[in-house]
Amino acid sequence: MSFTLNNQWAVVTGASSGIGTEIARRLAGSGCHVVLVARRQERLNEVAARLEQEHRVQTRVLPLDLTEPGAAQRLGEAVADLPITVLVNNAGFGKTGPFNGEDFAVYQRMVTLNILFLSELTYQLLPRLREAAGGARILNVGSIAGYQGVPNMVVYSATKAYVNHFSEGLHWELSDTKVRVTNLAPGKTESEFFDVASMRGTQFARTGVLSAERVANLAVKAMVAGKRNVITGWDNRLNVFALRFSPRWLVGVVLRFLFREMK
Ligand SMILES: NC(=O)c1ccc[n+]([C@@H]2O[C@H](COP(=O)([O-])OP(=O)(O)OC[C@H]3O[C@@H](n4cnc5c(N)ncnc54)[C@H](OP(=O)(O)O)[C@@H]3O)[C@@H](O)[C@H]2O)c1
């Protein structure tokens, strides 16, 4: 079942920066109209203006804090008049540092955005995606951090384990429908994530970093093809593959070493 982006409508959460902006650009470059969602309205307006000008697509800007109660419902209602066939669940954030080093409210927002909102929006839109005669696509942004527990990033890595598993399960559950679910597991990617997660300037964040544009291109290509999973970067693919054959204790010791500077 082939799927083309031209003249489809996509919802992209977290479209005001980084991977989300680049995914929106890549979609628009293929003629797909885009609903742009995040908190910073001015940034969304700038992205929308650029997409309309450069790619002649339609856009809709929805400034929403997706951690607010009822956000998924509000978003669903705000796009009820559009024939949405692509859902990109990209909004998310992480924090590095010792578990007790953050206010618990930060973790509550992280779990709400990375897990609950992503699940609820998918739940809201799935019936409509299933009805799309030409098929539909869901792209969830997990992470390679979700393949194991990561010291000094424990809540974030656990939320991304949820996304990786949620996407995989839903991919197989929907495999006899025209909806395809793809999980994107990026490795280190240049974006505001490093600032929000307090990782900027660390040795860890200086090496093996891909551009958000490259990550978005790989993600959209895999999503259109209906692939189950895409891990960005050969080194990340190798690491995830090696995890299958490595003792858990060894993985833990290596990660403890790699994330020691985040303490
Ligand atoms: N960069 C990496 O190394 C990396 C690696 C693996 C996975 N990821 C994942 O990739 C996804 C995109 O991150 P990124 O790297 O592009 O980081 P980013 O540049 O910080 O983008 C995060 C996006 O999420 C939005 N967002 C954050 N909190 C929100 C909220 N409460 N309500 C609505 N929108 C919210 C932000 O917009 P506003 O601030 O305007 O709301 C922004 O558009 C995330 O799920 C992240 O976990 C990133």
Q: What is the pLDDT of residues 116-129, one digit of tens each?
A: 999 999 999 999 99
pLDDT confidence tier of residue 134, bands split at 50, 70 and 90: very high
**What is the DSSP secondary-structure string of the chain?**
-----TT-EEEEESTTSHHHHHHHHHHHHTT-EEEEEES-HHHHHHHHHHHHHHH---EEEEE--TTSTTHHHHHHHHTTTS-EEEEEE-------S-GGGS-HHHHHHHHIIIIIIHHHHHHHHHHHHHH-TT-EEEEEE--GGGGS--TT-HHHHHHHHHHHHHHHHHHHHTTTSSEEEEEEE--SEESTHHHHTT-TTSSGGGSSPEEHHHHHHHHHHHHHHT-SEEE-SHHHHHHHHHHTTS-HHHHHHHHHHHTGGG-
Tell whether ligand 1 has an atom less than 6 A from the beta carbon of residue 186: yes
pLDDT of residue 204: 85
The catalytic residue among 107, 123, 156, 162 is: 156
Strand partners, 63: 38
Residue range 52-96, pLDDT digits in tens: 999 999 999 999 999 999 999 999 999 999 999 999 999 999 999
Q: What domains sit in the chain, N to C, each tagged with a CATH number?
A: 9-262 (3.40.50.720)
pLDDT of residue 106: 98
Q: Do the Cβ atoms of 59 and 51 come closer than 8 Å?
A: yes
> How many of the other CB atoms lie within 10 Å of CB of 263?
10
Q: Which atom belonging to ligand 1 lies closest to the Cα atom of 190? A: 1
Cα(82) to ligand 1 centroid in Å equals 24
Tell whether ligand 1 has an atom less than 6 A from the beta carbon of residue 146: no
Hunting for tokens 């003792």 — which residue is that? 247
Residue 1, pLDDT > 70, answer no
Residue 29, pLDDT > 90, answer yes
Cα(19) to ligand 1 centroid in Å equals 7
Question: Average pLDDT of the chain?
Answer: 97
For residue 240, the number of C-alpha atoms closer than 13 Å in the C-beta half-sphere is: 19
Hunting for tokens 């001015």 — which residue is that? 42
Q: Is 156 a catalytic residue?
A: yes
Residue 193, pLDDT > 90, answer yes
- Rounded Cα–Cα distance for residues 250 and 242 (Å): 11
Long-range contacts made by residues 46-55, C-beta under 8 angstroms, separation at least 24? 47/15, 47/16, 47/21, 50/25, 51/24, 51/25, 54/28, 55/25, 55/28, 55/29, 55/31
Q: Which atom belonging to ligand 1 lies closest to the Cα atom of 209? A: 3
Tell whether ligand 1 has an atom less than 6 A from the beta carbon of residue 204: no
Residue range 157-192, pLDDT digits in tens: 999 999 999 999 999 999 999 999 999 999 999 999
